[in-house]
Amino acid sequence: MEFHQPTTLDDALTLLAADPEALPLAGGATLVAMLNAELIEPSALVSLGGICELHTIEATPEGGLRLGAMLSHATLASEARLTGGNAVMRQAAAQIAHPAVRNIGTLGGAVAHGDPSSDLPAALVAADAVIEVAGPSGRRSIAAEGFFEDYLTTALEEGEMVAAVILPPQPESAVGHYEKFARVHGDYATLSVAVVLAMASGKCSHVRIALGAAGATPVRVVAAEARLIGSSLDAGAISEAAALLTAASDPVDDVRGSADYRLMLVPRLLTRALAAAGGAP
Amino acid sequence: MIIEEEFAVDAALAHVWQCIRDPGFVAPCVPGCQDVEDIGDGAYRAAVKVGIGPIKTTFNLDIEVLEETPPTFARVETRGQEGTNASRLTAKSELTLTASGNDATHVHYKSDVQVVGRLAKFGLGIMKKKAKALGAEFAENFRNAAEA
Ligand SMILES: Cc1cc2nc3c(=O)[nH]c(=O)nc-3n(C[C@H](O)[C@H](O)[C@H](O)COP(=O)(O)OP(=O)(O)OC[C@H]3O[C@@H](n4cnc5c(N)ncnc54)[C@H](O)[C@@H]3O)c2cc1C
**Which CATH code, of 3.40.309.10, 3.30.70.141, 1.10.10.10, 3.30.530.20, is assigned to B2-147?**
3.30.530.20
A24 lines ligand 1 (CB under 6 A): yes
A169 lines ligand 1 (CB under 6 A): no
Can you give the pLDDT at residue B35?
A: 84
Can you give the pLDDT at residue B122?
A: 76
CA–CA gap between residue A195 and residue A176 (Å, rounded):
6
Nearest C-alpha of chain B: how many angstroms from A74? Answer: 26
A85 lines ligand 1 (CB under 6 A): no
Please judge whether B54 and A34 are an interchain contact, meaning their C-beta atoms are less than 8 angstroms apart.
Answer: yes
Average per-residue pLDDT in chain A?
97
Nearest C-alpha of chain B: how many angstroms from A156? Answer: 11
List pLDDT tens digits, range A256-276. 999 999 999 999 999 999 999
Please judge whether A114 and B53 are an interchain contact, meaning their C-beta atoms are less than 8 angstroms apart.
Answer: yes
List pLDDT tens digits, range B14-33. 999 999 999 999 999 999 99
pLDDT band at B1 (very low <50, low <70, confident <90, very high): confident
pLDDT band at B118 (very low <50, low <70, confident <90, very high): confident
Q: How far is the CA of B53 from the centre of ligand 1 (A)?
A: 13
- pTM beyond 0.90: yes
Going by C-alpha positions, the residue among A40, A28, A2, A45 that lies closest to residue B86 is: A40
A35 to chain B, any CB pair closer than 8 A? The answer is no
A267 lines ligand 1 (CB under 6 A): no
Please judge whether A38 and B54 are an interchain contact, meaning their C-beta atoms are less than 8 angstroms apart.
Answer: no
List pLDDT tens digits, range B119-139. 887 778 888 899 999 999 999
Type of residue at A45: L
Structural domains of chain A, ranges and CATH numbers in brackets: 1-48 (3.30.43.10), 175-279 (3.30.390.50)
Going by C-alpha positions, the residue among B125, B119, B1, B117 that lies closest to residue A255 is: B125
Helix (H) / strand (E) containing B26: helix B23-26
Mean pLDDT over residues B69-90, rounded? 91
The residues of chain A scoring below 50 in pLDDT are 281
Nearest C-alpha of chain B: how many angstroms from A252? Answer: 5
Tell which atom from ligand 1 comes closest to the C-alpha of A23: 47
Which residues of chain A are within 8 Å of residue B55 when distances are taken between CB atoms? 34, 39-40, 152
A38 to chain B, any CB pair closer than 8 A? The answer is yes
Using DSSP bridges, classify how beta strands A161-167 and A153-154 pair: parallel, antiparallel or unpaired.
unpaired
Can you give the pLDDT at residue B120?
A: 81
Can you give the pLDDT at residue A72?
A: 98
The answer to whether the bond into B71 is cis (omega within 30° of 0) is yes
Q: Which of B53, B121, B125 sits opposite A254 (nearest CB)?
A: B125
Neighbours of A33 (CB within 10 A): 12
Find the closest chain B residue to A30 by CA distance: B54
A68 lines ligand 1 (CB under 6 A): no
Give the domain ranges of chain B: 2-147
List pLDDT tens digits, range B84-108. 768 999 999 999 999 998 899 999 9
Please judge whether A152 and B123 are an interchain contact, meaning their C-beta atoms are less than 8 angstroms apart.
Answer: no
Residue A142 forms beta bridges with which residues? A131
Please judge whether B53 and A23 are an interchain contact, meaning their C-beta atoms are less than 8 angstroms apart.
Answer: no
Please judge whether B54 and A37 are an interchain contact, meaning their C-beta atoms are less than 8 angstroms apart.
Answer: no
Which residues of chain A are within 8 Å of residue B123 when distances are taken between CB atoms? 252, 254
CB A178 within 8 A of CB A95: yes
Going by C-alpha positions, the residue among B53, B135, B125, B54 that lies closest to residue A214 is: B125
